[in-house]
Amino acid sequence: MRVYRPTAIAGSEITPEASYFNRREMLRMAAAGGLTLAAPSLASGATQADLQFSPGGYDPEEEITPEADATSYNNFYEFGTGKADPAAKSADFNPRPWSIMVDGLVNKPAEFDLDALMALGLEERIYRMRCVEAWSMVIPWIGVSLAGLLDRVEPLGSAKYVAFETIVRPDEMPGQRGLFQPLNWPYVEGLRLDEARHPLTILSMGMYGKTLPNQNGAPVRLVTPWKYGFKGIKSIVRITLTEDQPASTWNRLAPGEYGFYANVNPAVDHPRWSQATENRIGGGGFFGSNDRPTLPFNGYGDEVAGLYAGMDLKANF
Amino acid sequence: MPLPALPKRFHAASIWALYGLGLLPAVWTFYLGATGQLIGNPVKIFEHLLGEWALRFLILTLAISPLRDLAGINWLRYRRALGLLAFYYVAMHFLAYMVLDKRLALGVIVEDIYKRWFITIGMAAFVALVPLALTSNRWSIHRLGTGWGKLHRLIYPIAAAGALHFCLAVKVIGPEQLIYAGLVTLLLGWRLVRPRYMAWRRSRREIKTGFARTQAQAE
C-alpha cells in the first residue's frame, strides 16, 4: 500500500496561484510592451499569498478599513517619508526567504524561519489601530502570539525587556539610501516583557486573509493594539531579551513627542496636535470622513490597564 | 541670449491662463476628494497639497526679480498673479483646515493657534498676506505711493514663515522640506546681496562706457 508523504517543499516557498497567473500576465504585457507601467503593481501583488488561519476571537465589531486604504496609506520610512511612498517604492523589497533571530537573556536562543513562526498557530484578529498622527483604522491581522514565540526560547529570570530590530537593506529600501536619512537605521523598538507576553500582542504575518504586503511590514511585524502604530515595528529580523530598557527609534529622535510606552491616551497631547479625537480612515472622501473620540488604551483598557497600575501615564507616556 | 518675447497682445491672455492653470491643482484635487477618489486620508492630502502649492507660488513670486537681475528675463507682469495665487492657496489651506479638518470646532482651532507653534506661525503668515492681497491693484499702488513697496516687503517674512511652518509641521524634516526652505533662503539671501551686485554691475558698465568715451576722444 502506498503511503502519502508530505512534500519536502516548505509551504512558504510554494508560488501561490494568484502570483503564478500574475507572472503570466506580466510576461504577456511585457510582450505587448507595457512592462514599465504594469510592473510595480504586479510585482507587489506577486509577493502576497493566501494564508490558512483560525479565528482569534478579537473583533471590535466596527467597520473594517478598506484594504486599499490600509495598504496605500502607510508610514514606513525605510521606503520614504510620504504616506504613499511605501506602496509606491517597496516593489524591490524581497521578504522571502526570511528568518528572525531570537537571542539575549534566554536559555535557548534560536533562529526562526517563516514556517516555524507560522507553526506557532496563525490566528486572525481584528484590531483597532491608532497612529500617533491621530488617524486610525480597523485591520484584520493574521499572526501568532508573541508569548508563544518567547516560550520557545525560555527567557531567563533577569530578562525584563524585549528589543526589536528592523532589517537594513539600502539596495531594496530607497528610504535607507541617499544623502538625507531621516532616521537612524536599523529602526528599533522595545516592549517591557509583560507587555510583550500580553495575549493581545502578536507578530503579524498577514492581513485581509493574505500575507503582508511589503508596505505593511512584510513578512513579519509587531502589533500591539493599545499602543500608537509606531510601536508596531515592521520587517523584524531580530528580537533580543534584555535587562535594561531598549532604545526605540522615535523616542530617541524626539523623546518629548514619542514616549517609550506610546500607549494611546486622549489625555496626553502630542506637542503639535491633540490626541482627544481621531480620524477613521476610509470614510470615502471629504464628507464621509469619520471623526471619533480617542479611547484610552485604544479601547483595550479592560485588558491592559493593569500592566500600568501605579504608573503616571502622563510622565510615562 | 534673449528668450523669444511673447507678443504684447497675448500678455493679458497669458496672465489669465496662469490663473487658470494655477488653480487647477486645487480644483482637481477637491473634485477627487469630494467624490471619494483620494485613498487614505483625503482631508489631509488636500490640506497638504494646498499648503505645498502656496509655498510654490510664494517661491515663484520671489523668483521674478532675481530672474530679471541675473538672467535678464522680465516676467514682472506675472508677479501679481503669482502672489495672488499664493494668497488664494494659503486661504484655501486655512479653510480646508478649519472646515474639513477641524469641522469649524472653534475651540480646537483657537487652542491650536495658541498652543502649537507651527500653527501660530502659519496663521501669522496668513494674516500678514491679507493686506498684500487687498492692495494688489493699480488703485492701491497709486494711492500708497512709496508705501506700497515698503508694505509688500512683508512677503519676505511671510515666505520665511511659510517654509518654517512646513518644516515644523512634519515629524521629520525630509528632503522636500529642505528643498523649500533652501529655495526660500536662497531667494531671500539674494535680496541681501542684490544692492552690492547691482552697484558692481553699474560700475562695470561705467568703466566700459568711460573707456569707450576716452577711445573716441583719442581718435
Domain ranges of chain A: 2-308
- pLDDT, one tens digit per residue, over B90-139 is 999 999 999 999 989 999 999 999 999 999 999 999 999 999 999 999 99
Q: Which CATH number does the domain A2-308 belong to among 1.10.3720.10, 3.40.640.10, 3.90.420.10, 3.30.70.120?
A: 3.90.420.10
- On the question of pLDDT at B2 being above 90, the answer is no
A78 in a known ligand binding site? yes
Give φ, ψ of A193 to 5 degrees.
-60, -40
Best mutation target among A228, A289, A290, A294 (most B Cβ atoms within 10 Å) is: A289
Please tell me the total count of domains within chain B.
Answer: 1
The overall average pLDDT reported for chain A is 89
- Cβ-in-10-Å burial (0-12, 13-18, 19+) of B217 comes to exposed
Cell of B104: 469649524
Chain A contact present for B43, CB below 8 A: yes
Say yes or no for a CB contact (<8 Å) between A285 and B42. Answer: yes
**Rounded-to-5 percentages of helix, strand, coil across chain A:** 25, 25, 50
Q: Give the number of other Cβ atoms within 10 Å of residue A286's Cβ.
A: 20
Say if B214 falls within a structural domain.
no
Question: CB-hemisphere CA count at 13 Å for B9?
Answer: 0
Q: Is A128 annotated as belonging to a binding site?
A: no
Phi/psi at A109 (nearest 5 deg)? -60, 145
Question: What is the enclosing helix (H) or strand (E) of A124?
Answer: strand A123-130
What whole-number distance in Å separates Cα of residue A278 and Cα of residue A128? Answer: 12
pLDDT for A305 equals: 97
| pLDDT in the model for residue B219 | 60
Cβ distance of A81 and B174 shorter than 8 Å: yes
Name the pairing type of β-strands A290-293 and A221-223.
Answer: unpaired
In chain B, residues with a C-beta closer than 8 Å to the C-beta of A283 are 42
- Three-state DSSP class for B190? helix
Q: What is the mean pLDDT of residues B69-88?
A: 95
In a domain, B115, yes or no: yes
Q: What is the pLDDT of residue A37?
A: 39
Q: Which of B37, B166, B172, B177 to mutate to test the interface with A (most CBs of A within 10 A)?
A: B172
User: Among candidates A52, A311, A19, which has minimal Cα distance to A194?
Assistant: A311
Q: Pick from B102, B99, B96, B109: which is nearest to B50 by CA?
A: B96
Spatial separation of the C-alpha atoms in residues B86 and B38, rounded to whole Å: 24
The residue length of chain A stands at 317
Q: Kindly report, residue by residue over B14-43, the tens digit of the pLDDT.
A: 999 999 999 999 999 999 999 989 988 999
Q: Which segments of chain A have a pLDDT < 70? A: 1-47, 289
Is residue B215 in some structural domain?
A: no
Residue A166 counted as an annotated binding residue: yes
